Structure 1
Amino acid sequence: MKIGTLGAGAIAQAIARHAIRHGHEVVFSNSRGPASLAPLVEDLGALAAAATPAEAAAADLVVLAVPWPRIPDAVAGLPRLDKTVVIDATNQFASLSPHPAIADLGDLTGSEYVSSLLPGARVVKAFNSLYAQFIAPDPRHEAGRQVLFLAGDDADAKNTVRDLTSQFGFAPVDLGTLREGGRLIQLGGPLSALHALKQD
């Protein structure tokens, strides 16, 4: 599978390293351009590349992992992502400084808002409820596998993310739709930042 990233920070890199270890290609993009990603690509080897956001979004699966206020700019100008599976790893922090603040989206969940900006895409909420330091290592531990909550409105898209993350070693748990499941794992939800292991 070819996986594109919109954003190349800690979360995107952690997911990408798992993907590369399992033989998937990763195409990184960010707001500063492909040249800024040359050291990262060199470090990750032949299965990593850097490109423009539009080129990264042409991959089989796309990971959206940028700070919340930058999402509109990150997706602006992308071609329609018809049927593309997009993992939404974002959290709706309106700001982090001087104090964290949650964006007011009214009745929408964060991923419903993201989905509205990506017409045609099949959005799956995942990875947002885990800190990067829990995503990066091998998710398989003596006590069990790291639980990965996910939510989405498209069953096939969720199956794609479930199968991929299971391959990485996570224990994916489907919480339902972007509205119901998304509320559980977005900021302020009861499963936000909950790190748990599943015994096999």
Structure 2
Amino acid sequence: MVVGRRSDPTSTQDRRSIMSYSIIGFGHIGQALAKAFARNGIEVSVATTRDPESFASDAAAIGPTIIPKTLAEAVKADIIFLAVRFESHPEVAKALPTWQGKTIVDVTNAYGVPPEELEGQPSSRFIAQAFSGAKLVKGFNHLGAAVLDQDPAVHGGRRVVFLSSDDDAAAAQIGTLAENLGFSPIKLGALSEGGLLVQARGKSWGHLIFKDLVKFD
């Protein structure tokens, strides 16, 4: 998990208004996300269920703005990227009694999970139930780790990330963050509508999964 703040605030008021960020999960996807933060000088905390010392060297190799934390510390962030395996999300959800005031960016993929286990819902809505009180945005999950790892500035354009949410304000907030990370956000609408295009259902993928698109201004 990674939690962070934009570096070098210019005033006390700026410091108070700056969002804090964390990444929970520090595998290939989590590290790729951390590199996006590092490229832009934005501090982010990273965490797993393990002791932070076990991945501190990997965090240091990415850059000084990547801060290893315990899970309990990382969930204090305002915006939390959930980059764990889908089946691990209930364990993360137990870290807080309520997620009120938090925005969760669901980067998981539920490929292979039978639809009946999800009660017929999109996987992100199922996850939202576990993170009671949080605003949830599906995003950053449609790109493979090897692509997400790269600088999103491509051939004079910006790599696209798809976002979907049942909360328009949360989607806009993460859209702004995506732009700050160098990506071009495209909003797909609600989780049960456009969001299905970037979610797995059973052993089938949504139509936009793994689509590496670039937007030119």
TM-score by length of 2: 0.83
Q: Which residue of 1 aligns with 2:90?
A: 72
* 1:1-200 correspondence runs (5 A): 1=5, 2-93=20-111, 101-104=112-115, 105-142=118-155, 144-187=157-200, 188-200=205-217
Amino acid paired to 2:32? A
> C-alpha offsets along residues 21-80 of structure 1, whole Å, 9 cap, x if unaligned?
222211111122212121123223432222221211111210001111211112223242
Amino acid paired to 1:191? L
Amino acid paired to 1:198? K
Superposed CA RMSD in Å reads 1.5
Amino acid paired to 1:106? E
Q: CA deviation at 1:18?
A: 1.3
SS at match of 1:128: coil
Mark the runs of 5 or more structure 2 residues left unpaired by the alignment. Answer: 6-19
Q: Distance in 1 between matches of 2:51 and 2:212?
A: 34
Q: Distance in 1 between matches of 2:162 and 2:63?
A: 29
> C-alpha offsets along residues 131-184 of structure 1, whole Å, 9 cap, x if unaligned?
011111111111522111110111221111111111222111000012212211
SS at match of 1:119: coil
Q: Following superposition, which runs of at least 4 residues in structure 1 exceed 3 angstroms of deviation? A: none
SS at match of 1:195: coil
Q: Distance in 2 between matches of 1:48 and 1:82?
A: 25
Q: Distance in 2 between matches of 1:50 and 1:59?
A: 13
Amino acid paired to 1:54? A
Amino acid paired to 1:11? I
Identical counterparts, % of pairs: 34
Indicate if the aligned counterparts of 2:159 and 2:212 stay in contact, CA closer than 8 A.
yes
SS at match of 1:102: coil
- Assess, with a 3 A threshold, how the Cα gap between structure 1 residues 37 and 141 changes in structure 2: closer, same or farther: same
Amino acid paired to 1:68? F
Q: Which residue of 2 aligns with 1:98?
A: none
SS at match of 1:73: helix
Indicate if the aligned counterparts of 2:98 and 2:133 stay in contact, CA closer than 8 A.
yes
Mark the runs of 5 or more structure 1 residues left unpaired by the alignment. Answer: 94-100
> C-alpha offsets along residues 75-113 of structure 1, whole Å, 9 cap, x if unaligned?
2232422121111000003xxxxxxx2332232101101
Q: 52-61 or 35-44: which moved more?
A: 35-44
Q: Distance in 2 between matches of 1:168 and 1:48?
A: 14
Alignment: residue pair count:
193
